[in-house]
Structures are given as C-alpha cells and as structure tokens.
Amino acid sequence: MNLKYTILLPLCVLMFGGVALAGNPDRQGEEGAKQLLLNPWARSAGLHSLNTSSVSGADAMYLNVAGLARINKTQLQLGHTRYLEGTGMNINALGFAQRVGKGGGTFGISLVAVDLGDLELTTENTPEGAGGTFSPSLFNMGLSYAHIFSNRVSVGITAKFVNESITNASARAIALDAGVQYVTGPKDNFKFGISLRNVGSKMQFTGEGLSTSQSGANQTFEYPLTYYQRSAAYELPSQLNIGASYDWLLAAKSRLSMVVNFTSNAFSRDQVGAGLEFALGQNFSLRAAYKTEFDTNSIEQSIDNGLSAGLSASIPFKKGSDSRLSLDYSFRATEVFQGIHNFGIRIDL
C-alpha cells in the first residue's frame, strides 16, 4: 500500500475517533435542529444509514461526503419522504454532483426542506385556537467537495446552512461535515469509512415573536413598552459514524455486500447496526438492515430503531451506456404511526 495512504488513514481514525469519546449522556435533550438527522435519500435509508463506508453520489452528502467523489461524471437526484406515515409530515430533497477536471475532484450541492404541514395557530389568549394556521419552515442547504486518490482513499467536506423559522421568529446556524473512505482488498471489496457530521455554531431563536407589550410605569398617562425575551441557545446534533463493508462478488456480475456501522451521538445514545445488500449487476438491488441503541428501553429508544428495507431498479439510456435512470424506494419501521417511506429518482450521466 502507498506510504501516504498508510499515514493518512491512521491520522483520520485518530482525529475522528477522539470525538467518539466526547459524548456525555447527561447532555441528552440539549440539542435541536433534529431535521439534520432525517435521511431524505432512499438508497442509504434502506440500509438504515449504516453504509458509511460504501455510500456514494448525492446520498453521500447526508451520510459521508467522501463518497461524493465516487460517481462517473454527473448525478442528479430527487428525494421525497413520507415521514411517520399518518402525520402529514414530508421531506423533499435535491442533490446534484459534478466531477470536475481529471484530478478526482467532485463538487456537490444539496437542498433539503421539511414540510410539517399546516399547524393550528394558538395564542395565550386563545389556547384552543385563533382560527388560523401557520407552517414552520425547516430548510438546509449544503455545499460539498470531495476528492479521490487513485480509487483507494477519498476525502470530503460539506458546509451547511441550517434554518428554522416561523412567521415572526427564526434561528440559523452554519455546520460542517467531514468524511473519509478507504477501499482495499484483492478486488476492492473491503471498504472502511468515517464521518463526522453537524459540527457548528449554536442556534437561537430571535424575532418579533419573542416580544411582548406592556404598559409603562408612568402613573400620569399610559404608554406601551415592548420587551424582547431571550430564548435559550441550543446545540446541533453532532455525531460520529464509523463503518465497514465487505463485498462478495458472485456470478453474472452480481454482488452481496454486508455493512456494519457504529454511531456515536454527542447528545443521545450510541447506535449500532448491520445490513445486507444484494445487487444483480447494475440493474436491480435489494437491501435490508437492523439498527439498535445501547443502554435503552422501549420507552426511551429512538423512533426508527429496528428494521429497514429497500430496493432500486436502474435502466441505461442506451445499451452499454453508463448513463442511467434509477428508481429507489425504502421503508423503515417505527414504534408509532405507519413507518417512514422514502422515494427517489436518480439520473447518472
């Protein structure tokens, strides 16, 4: 193995691995912006976001940006998620990746919007409803760059703008993601990946919605005074992912892959999981996974722990071409409501 890879990989493990020990169970519940942990992409969602080591293309901008570089030339991806079926919550996403030059660099952009639907407007004076509705806005935009070295090591970084708002109050933050993937084995069939996600500034709501009007203290005549309240700042949901995968290459260009992953959450319990993916050439694939948490019970565990499954179908634009149109679907079981459904469409050029 090339000396620079021998040096680079341990350094990345030490740099990212130190964060895994930084979590504090006593800080659970102190973070916000949980939409950053909602996976809008069907392929990786079908594996419960456990494919840190093997994720590629636009999916990688959510899980491990290093995989962004592992595309042919251009990829456009659209995603739609029916989150917790029965609640009316939806997630829409757009991802675009473009390889530049011949040096192994790839740029990407991702847009993710969470639709919580129309909520009933209430006030202190009308707690039963004021006769109107409002719709919160949860929006994230990411700009990414990844670089691949001799098809063995890829690294990447993403800068994200995070926004949460209603009509008269909003909170914003800037966050960074970073990741590395390493491929080895006689047929490039062993993969290792590390990603650090959602490290950034605190968020704090400001705006007219935090103001209140009261009468002045002058006893001679009345006049209104406006007071602004300070909301508490909250952290972003930072997490570290460490994953590995192994590919068994079968006849007829088929492949069976196993993925394992450990997730260290800075503000919630750590998670571990494993999954399998079977691919019939480039045209069809099936995947399933299981994820669980450490030191938890059925009341406190995350809502989407358990089983996930998905499939993809892909057809070339013309015979023998690398340009393809693909459809993706995944389902994740949940403790409440009717699960999470992800739909996706990809165009590779």
User: Has residue 75 been placed in a domain?
Assistant: yes
Q: What are phi and psi of 239, to 5 degrees?
A: -155, 155
Share of the chain residues as helix, strand and coil, in percent rounded to the nearest 5: 15, 50, 35
User: Has residue 51 been placed in a domain?
Assistant: yes
User: Has residue 302 been placed in a domain?
Assistant: yes
| Cα atoms found within 13 Å of the Cα of residue 287, Cβ hemisphere only | 31
User: Has residue 165 been placed in a domain?
Assistant: yes
At residue 11 the predicted structure's pLDDT band, cuts being 50, 70 and 90, is: very low
User: Has residue 9 been placed in a domain?
Assistant: yes
Residue-wise pLDDT tens digits, 136-183 = 999 999 999 999 998 889 999 999 999 999 888 999 999 999 999 999
End-to-end CA distance of the chain: 32
- How many domains are contained in the chain? 1
User: Has residue 108 been placed in a domain?
Assistant: yes
Taking alpha carbons only, the member of 32, 58, 45, 346 closest to residue 198 is 32
Residue-wise pLDDT tens digits, 276-315 = 999 998 899 999 999 998 876 655 667 888 999 999 999 9
Domain span at 307 = 3-119+135-203+232-348
Q: What torsion do the CA atoms of 231, 111, 178, 324 make, to the nearest 10 degrees?
A: 160
User: Has residue 217 been placed in a domain?
Assistant: no
Tokens of 335: 């403790």
d(CA 112, CA 135): 16
Q: What are phi and psi of 122, to 5 degrees?
A: -130, 155
Contacts of 142 (CB under 8 A, 6+ apart): 61, 108, 109, 110, 111, 112, 158, 159, 160, 161, 177
User: Has residue 319 been placed in a domain?
Assistant: yes
CATH number of the domain within which 66 lies: 2.40.160.40
